[in-house]
Structure 1
Amino acid sequence: MSASLNERVIPPPPESSDSRTFRRGFADLIDGLYNWELWLHLGWTDIKQRYRRSLLGPLWITIATGVMAISMGLLYGKLIGVPYSTFLPYITLGLIFWNFIQMSILEGTVVFSTNEGLIKQLPAPVSVHVYRVVWRQLIIFAHNVVIYLIVLAVFRPKISWEALLFFPAMALYILNAVWITIVFGILSTRFRDISQLMSTIVQLVFFMTPIIWMITPTMKQSMGTRTKLVELNPLYHYIEIGRAPLLGEHVEFYHWLVVLGCTAIGCLVAMVIMRNYRSRVAYWV
């Protein structure tokens, strides 16, 4: 007698190819994290190679950023009429966070094209090269933080418990650096003009973002609601969530909402690109 309907085993529906491809893209990110020793070593080697046979080595990173912060701080502080004790910490932190964002974008666009030999010879997840770029930027960021510590000791801005918001802000910076490197790295590997385009756009956005200038009360009175145009720039919100807590200032909640929204959208786009084009990187480089 045949088995009853309740006793029959109904096989699960076949898994779609899109679902399997999506899982492979996510698995690549996980596998890359498991290969942490590899990308930690590669990122640190990049820093050593860049400053090989240099007398001061990576300290040139700190010196270059410090000289830029001091020179621009003295010049623009005088022009906009802001005391140096206020403007120098402001511009120093702005440049430190901007350098992390800028280099994550620019080096992310060439992460695969500049590692062609390694990608073709080393059977490693694509995400290893992504984590390598982010780790390298964190090393540079750590060198630049020394400048802020010096400024903190000299000008002594009023730091409150809100300074602890730096840590979730930094976590968002890292997460954004990952998806930015994935998106622009893969796309610029296929379309090499993207790296040149992003270089131009980043330079333009730098001057549109309150980094070497600030929105003073005088500017608000003279421009009125037109100062709200600054808030249309998403990088302004990224800078604020990192800079304001370390200056002892309150961070408005809408800054966090904008950053979280951009992060969610960016991660979604990165997963779609990983799903569709991850396997083609080795052929495009």
Structure 2
Amino acid sequence: MKKNKYINQRALKDIIESNKSYKLYMMLGWQDILQRYRRSVLGPLWLTLSMGVMIGTMGLVFGNILNAPISEYFPFLAVGLILWTFISTVISEGCTVFISADSLIKQLPLPIFMHVLRMIWRNIAIFFHNMIIFLVILIFTPNIFITKSTFLFFPGFIILILNLLWISLILGILCTRYRDLPQIINSILQVLFYITPIVWLPNLMKGRASAYFLDLNPMFHLMDVVRSPLLGGASSLVSWQVVIAMAIIGWLLAILVFTRYRARIAYWL
């Protein structure tokens, strides 16, 4: 009993110390971005430029295919792609978050959870960098206004981050042990991209039996609590209930997994 209590305290202490080391993981996360685009002319702006080109191309093609008004479709597509890129990148990098920090984990006595926070922070910085594209699109779409619902973006984004943290922590531990899992997770993400309303509009599903699948898609709810406020609407109550329940249950599970396997991560690397 004493040993289990000690292990549990070490795991919780690791999470607390990781959050206190915010200056360190924020600095390391920003250095990751700069290192990726070292000696390039535009630097991190390449991320925004490539995202802008993709949104513009897909907007023209799928907007015509779906016969959707440009003023409605472009903001929807922009937020959807930027948000999906953020979520899918975090989940994908979460699979290798401890593997990529191999040398730091083995050589420095840093809190292990800090590497998850570093990865999340890096992608948050890129997300808000890409949101410049959405702001530019809003200039040319005057039908979207700032309302009271718009400010729900902030609690929606916070609950999204909380969910991505526990997902990344669990996947990071499992993928460190089982190295085939990252490929499986990436395959699942590709399927989720097509069944989640990112390129296609969710109102196209109204009146169809397949509309019920939206309520069963957790990725849709994670995106809805962030995307709908930005588009001037309000997220559904179901979406809020789902993401809050995911955060509570997910973190309870993550703490149990982290408590049990934290000490083994370094040996699996």
TM exceeding 0.5 = yes
One of 176, 194, 202 as aligned partner of 2:163: 176
| Offset of residue 65 of structure 1 | 1.2
Distance between the aligned counterparts of 2:151 and 2:201, measured in 1? Answer: 23
- Contact 2:169–2:254 under 8 Å retained in 1: yes
- TM superposition shift of 1:216: 3.1
Q: Does the Cα contact within 8 Å between 1:104 and 1:180 map onto a contact in 2?
A: no
Q: Name 2:19's counterpart in structure 1.
A: 33
Q: What's 1:4 paired with? A: none
Whether 2:242 is the aligned partner of 1:258: answer yes
Q: CA RMSD in A?
A: 1.3
Please name the residue that 2:136 is paired with. 150
Using the TM superposition, give the Cα deviation of residue 19 of structure 1 relative to its aligned residue in structure 2, in angstroms.
Answer: 2.9
Q: Larger radius of gyration, structure 1 or 2?
A: 1
Would you say the 8 A contact 1:62–1:144 is kept in 2?
Answer: yes
- Residues of 2 paired with 1:150 and 1:88: CA distance? 11
Q: Secondary structure at the match of 2:202?
A: coil
Task: Map 1:34-113 onto structure 2 (within 5 A).
Answer: 34-113=20-99
CA distance in 2 between partners of 1:100 and 1:129 (Å): 17
Given that 1:93 and 1:148 are in contact with CA atoms closer than 8 Å, whether structure 2 keeps it comes out as yes
Residue 235 of structure 1, CA deviation? 0.5
CA contact (8 A) 2:160 2:243 kept: no
SS of structure 2 residue aligned to 1:216: helix
Query: What secondary structure is seen at the aligned counterpart in 2 of 1:113?
Result: coil
Q: Would you say 1:204 and 2:191 are equivalent positions?
A: yes
In the alignment, is residue 235 of structure 1 matched against residue 219 of structure 2? yes
Give the Å deviation of 1:159: 2.6
> TM-score, normalised on structure 2?
0.96
Aligned residue identity for 1:271: I
Q: Secondary structure at the match of 1:108?
A: helix
- Secondary structure of the residue aligned to 1:114 is coil
State whether residues 35 and 128 of structure 1, in contact with CA within 8 Å, keep that contact through their aligned partners in structure 2: yes
SS at match of 1:155: coil
Does the CA-based 8 Å contact 1:25-1:274 persist in structure 2? yes
- Within 5 Å, give how 1:99-138 maps onto structure 2: 99-138=85-124
**Distance in 1 (alpha carbons) for counterparts of 2:98 and 2:20:** 20
Q: Distance in 2 between matches of 1:216 and 1:41?
A: 42
Deviations 1:159-183, CA, capped at 9 Å, x for gaps: 3111000000111122122111110
Aligned match for 1:166, one of 153, 178, 189: 153
Q: How many residues align?
A: 268
Give the aligned residue type for 1:37. Answer: K
Cα distance in 2, alignment partners of residues 80 and 216 from structure 1? 12
Give, as a single letter, the amino acid of the residue that structure 2 aligns with 1:187: L
What residue is the counterpart of 1:11 in the other structure? none
**1:132-167 deviations in whole A, cap 9, x for unaligned?**
001101111111110111011111213311100000
1:104 is displaced (CA, Å) by 0.8
Residue number among 268, 271, 285 corresponding to 2:252 in the alignment: 268
Give the TM-score of the pair, scaled to structure 1.
Answer: 0.91
